[in-house]
């Protein structure tokens, strides 16, 4: 049986692609304001929790983890994996088109390969059927 | 006996990647055991769904591995350069996940998924350059 994803499930995959990289960007901006943290100034980590950019970043990363675990409840790990690799692509594209940074040829190639990877798995089934394992799991979780 | 910096760095990188693989496979196994969260939410609402996830032993073990992974990553970054550690850990994790998913989760990792995994590995390395 081929699992066909619902629009809401595609939305979860898009959330996985975007939320981690957006969260990391907010964290980076927030930690830039907080300053460098080292072993002698660990108290800065507590101070960082009161920075609004860090807080927004943490909310996005919690959202990423929620979306990731939700996706794993209806899709294989090897199906979801390429979506998690899309984060660096989003950051590179934000750098290119929003911050006007230059991207090298090797980075464009990397972006192309990860986009291809997402395309490869998206065209296949999202879940491997294991009726016998699912029955055992259902018994174990009771 | 003292380890050479090369062995030291790559041991740390392999350890971080191994923790990530164990963590992700345990979380995936726990979520497969629970079933579609949308179905659970339909009968047990959002709080019940969160409780079901947080009381799943495989999920908890996986989450603990991911927390350990975070701290071991900090250690790895203290002895290896980011430009080496980040792509190496990323690439090893993706390959390890594909192998572990086939062996332990019994996922059908066909040619299409292997090709996707290799594209991700090479793509991550190229992006980090």
ipTM of the predicted structure?
Answer: 0.84
B27 and B64 Cβ atoms separated by less than 8 Å: no
Cβ pair B113:A92 closer than 8 A:
no
**Number of domains comprising chain A:** 1
Look at residue A12 and tell me if it is in a domain. Answer: yes
Look at residue A32 and tell me if it is in a domain. Answer: yes
Q: How many CB pairs under 8 A join A and B?
A: 132
Asked whether residue A59 carries a pLDDT value surpassing 90, the answer given is: yes
How far is it, in rounded angstroms, from Cα B120 to Cα A88? 11
Residue A44 confidence (pLDDT):
73
- Nearest CB to A73; choose among B37, B90, B124: B37
Burial class of A42 by CB neighbour count within 10 A (0 to 12, 13 to 18, 19+): exposed
State how far residue B66 is from chain A, nearest Cα, in angstroms: 11
Cβ pair A78:B53 closer than 8 A:
no
Look at residue A24 and tell me if it is in a domain. Answer: yes
Look at residue A79 and tell me if it is in a domain. Answer: yes
Q: Which residues of A touch B49 (CB under 8 A)?
A: none
Look at residue A129 and tell me if it is in a domain. Answer: yes
Residue A142 confidence (pLDDT):
46
Mean pLDDT, residues A96-105 taken together: 81
Asked whether residue A86 carries a pLDDT value surpassing 70, the answer given is: yes
State how far residue B2 is from chain A, nearest Cα, in angstroms: 25
Look at residue A2 and tell me if it is in a domain. Answer: no
Residues in chain B with pLDDT < 70? 1-2
Look at residue A1 and tell me if it is in a domain. Answer: no
Range of the domain at A82: 7-141
* More confident: B61 or A92: B61
Look at residue A31 and tell me if it is in a domain. Answer: yes
> In degrees rounded to 5, what are phi and psi of residue A100?
55, 40
Q: How confident is the model at residue A56 (pLDDT cuts 50, 70, 90)?
A: very high
Tokens of A19: 């939320």
């Amino acid at each position: 049986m081929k699992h066909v994803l619902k629009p809401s499930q595609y939305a979860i995959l898009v959330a996985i692609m975007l939320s981690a990289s957006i969260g990391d960007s907010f964290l980076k901006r927030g930690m830039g304001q907080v300053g460098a943290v080292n072993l002698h100034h660990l108290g800065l980590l507590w101070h960082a929790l009161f920075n609004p950019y860090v807080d927004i970043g943490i909310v996005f990363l919690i959202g990423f983890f929620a979306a990731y675990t939700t996706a794993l409840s209806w899709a294989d790990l090897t199906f979801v994996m390429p979506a998690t690799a899309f984060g660096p692509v989003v950051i590179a594209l934000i750098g290119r088109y929003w911050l006007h940074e230059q991207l090298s040829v090797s980075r464009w190639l990397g972006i192309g390969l990860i986009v291809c990877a997402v395309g490869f798995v998206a065209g296949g089934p999202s879940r491997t059927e294991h009726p016998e394992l699912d029955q055992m799991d259902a018994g174990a979780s009771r | 006996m003292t380890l050479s910096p090369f062995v030291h760095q790559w041991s740390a990188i392999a350890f971080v990647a191994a923790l990530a693989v164990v963590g992700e496979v345990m979380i995936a196994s726990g979520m497969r055991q629970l079933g579609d969260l949308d179905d659970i939410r339909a009968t047990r609402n959002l709080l019940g769904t969160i409780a079901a996830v947080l009381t799943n032993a495989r999920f908890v073990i996986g989450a603990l591995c991911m927390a350990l992974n975070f701290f071991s990553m900090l250690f790895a970054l203290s002895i290896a350069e980011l430009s080496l550690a980040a792509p190496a850990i990323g690439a090893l994790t993706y390959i390890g996940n594909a192998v572990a998913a086939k062996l332990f989760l019994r996922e059908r990792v066909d040619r299409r998924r292997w090709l996707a995994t290799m594209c991700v590995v090479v793509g991550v390395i190229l992006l980090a350059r």
